[in-house]
């Protein structure tokens, strides 16, 4: 069945900040060509690894993020490698590039200015992006950037992913997943009030994937604009700005207007009670009691189970009062939640019309009967040997748009792709 991006060629020069996005484009039908140096993309060296599998095809990060793409190895320290890259870029519909702004050809060189307190250029330090280090300077010398490539290929949609954008006083500053969260202000809002901030998502490096999703959206919008107006364009994507928009505490205009710091709320919110994570006998549930009927049903349940009649006093119908007496309300709630397992509490709460969901472990997700029933999990072959279960499509359509395949072995498609571009 036809896919929406069928016939589109995407050249992926990115590392972790772009790869989830190019994975999405590949699954929607684009021909995604990942350009790797002779030693392979830095993503291939990200743990965890398949036990006993040979390098450089053993990384599970690579096996997931590079699904459905093709691998081309180019040594741009050699003239032939640079020429091949030039031909590949000249034939591209989309380029995804997360090199630092100073390494993008003549346009970046013309706009370069002071770059931080020391005045010297700093390179992006996104984990897994070693592929940029050795060759980035050569690419700059050869003028391999949007302005140069667009002269030969005016239809190209070039998506630039940088820590702080291509312009402004921070355009050369370095970044990482943690720096992105901190720079966006989101980091300030996560964690407990009496402890330091906590990075969202821990080792999952969600800031990089948030940027990559926006890169995929930008690429598709660029292709649509090209169809309407007849030419490509440069899309400037800042990782700081991609993460900034994710949090209402730092993004909603009223919060920006009054500029009052919102204290970290830990795993419970001060807007109401109960609101947040509550312990069960085998883990946690997330609960939101905000509407009057939620509290009526929960308070009756607490009284039935614990014999606490005080909880049903009409005075507690006041959501503001419950928030002001959070410790008392939480204590009564935990008497109920700790008497049950996560799933038992979840099922009974749902039956009573109370918004509750279990906080799932990886094992719980993998054996979730709902995810099994809807066919969410898929099997994919690994670049080395064997197969593994992976999350399926992030959306479904009745047109069957989502199709994918295993990640490529290092250089598996070099001859094939280079023959296609002459």
Confidence check: pLDDT of 358 > 80: yes
At residue 94, φ and ψ (nearest 5 deg) are -135, 140
Length of the chain: 422
28 neighbors 63 (Cβ within 8 angstroms): no
Q: How many beta carbons lie within 10 A of that of residue 125, not counting itself?
A: 12
H or E segment to which residue 296 belongs = helix 292-306
Per-residue pLDDT reduced to its tens digit, 175-212:
889 999 999 888 888 899 899 999 988 788 999 999 99
- The tally of CA atoms less than 13 A away on the side-chain side of residue 157 is 21
For strands 356-358 and 377-381, give the pairing: unpaired
For strands 94-97 and 157-162, give the pairing: parallel
Those residues whose C-beta lies under 8 Å from the C-beta of residue 102, and which sit 6 or more positions away, are: 108, 109, 112, 115, 121, 123, 140, 172
pTM recorded for the entire structure: 0.86
Which of 42-51, 118-127, 207-216, 337-346 is the least confident region?
Answer: 118-127
36 neighbors 25 (Cβ within 8 angstroms): no
Task: Report the mean per-residue pLDDT for the chain.
Answer: 87
Confidence check: pLDDT of 88 > 80: yes
Question: What average pLDDT does range 146-152 have in this prediction?
Answer: 90
Burial pattern 145-171, b for ≥16 Cβ within 10 A else e, equals bbbbbbeebeebbbbbbbbbbbeeebb
Q: With bands split at pLDDT 50, 70 and 90, how would you rate the model's confidence at 61? A: very high
410 neighbors 73 (Cβ within 8 angstroms): yes
Q: Indicate the DSSP class of residue 408.
A: P
* C-alpha dihedral sign at 72, 75, 78, 82: positive
Confidence check: pLDDT of 396 > 70: yes
What is the gyration radius of the CA atoms in the chain, in angstroms? 25
H or E segment to which residue 192 belongs = none
Residue 247: the pLDDT is: 74
Q: Check whether the bond before 71 is cis (ω within 30° of 0).
A: no
The domains found in the chain, sorted by start residue, are 9-249+376-420 (3.40.50.10540), 275-360 (3.30.1540.10)
């Amino acid at each position: 069945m036809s896919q929406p991006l069928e016939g589109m060629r995407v050249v992926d020069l990115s590392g972790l900040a772009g790869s989830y996005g190019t994975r999405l484009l590949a699954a929607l039908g684009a021909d995604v060509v990942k350009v790797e140096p002779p030693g392979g993309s830095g993503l291939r060296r990200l743990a965890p690894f398949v036990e006993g599998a040979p390098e450089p095809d053993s990384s599970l990060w690579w096996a997931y993020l590079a699904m459905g793409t093709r691998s081309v190895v180019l040594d741009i320290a050699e003239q032939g490698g640079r020429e091949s890259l030039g031909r590949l870029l000249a034939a591209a519909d989309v380029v995804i590039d997360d090199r630092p702004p100073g390494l993008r050809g003549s346009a970046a060189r013309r706009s370069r200015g002071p770059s931080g307190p020391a005045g010297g250029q700093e390179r992006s330090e996104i984990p897994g992006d070693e592929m940029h280090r050795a060759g980035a300077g050569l690419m700059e010398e050869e003028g391999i950037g949007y302005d140069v490539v667009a002269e030969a290929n005016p239809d190209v949609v070039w998506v630039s992913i940088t820590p702080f954008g291509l312009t402004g006083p921070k355009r050369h500053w370095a970044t990482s997943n943690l720096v992105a969260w901190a720079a966006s202000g989101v980091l300030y809002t996560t964690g407990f009030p009496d402890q330091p901030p906590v990075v969202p998502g821990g080792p999952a490096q969600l800031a990089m994937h948030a940027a990559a999703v926006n890169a995929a959206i930008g690429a598709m919008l660029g292709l649509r604009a090209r169809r309407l107006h007849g030419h490509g364009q440069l899309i400037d994507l800042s990782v700081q700005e991609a993460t900034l928009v994710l949090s209402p505490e730092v993004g909603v205009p009223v919060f920006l207007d009054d500029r009052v710091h919102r204290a970290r709320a830990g795993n419970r919110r001060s807007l109401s009670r109960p609101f947040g994570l509550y312990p069960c006998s085998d883990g946690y549930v997330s609960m939101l009691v905000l509407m009057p009927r939620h509290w009526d049903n929960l308070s009756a349940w607490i009284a039935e189970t614990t014999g606490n009649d005080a909880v049903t006093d009409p005075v507690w119908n006041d959501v503001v009062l419950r928030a002001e007496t959070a410790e008392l309300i939480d204590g009564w709630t935990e008497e109920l939640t700790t008497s049950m397992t996560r799933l038992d509490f979840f099922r009974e709460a749902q039956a009573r019309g109370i918004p509750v969901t279990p906080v799932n472990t990886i094992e719980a997700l993998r054996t979730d009967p709902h995810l099994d029933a809807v066919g969410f999990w898929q099997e994919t072959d690994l670049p080395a040997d064997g197969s593994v279960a992976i999350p399926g499509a992030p959306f479904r359509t009745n047109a069957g748009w989502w199709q994918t395949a295993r990640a490529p072995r290092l250089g598996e498609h070099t001859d094939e792709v280079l023959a296609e571009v002459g």
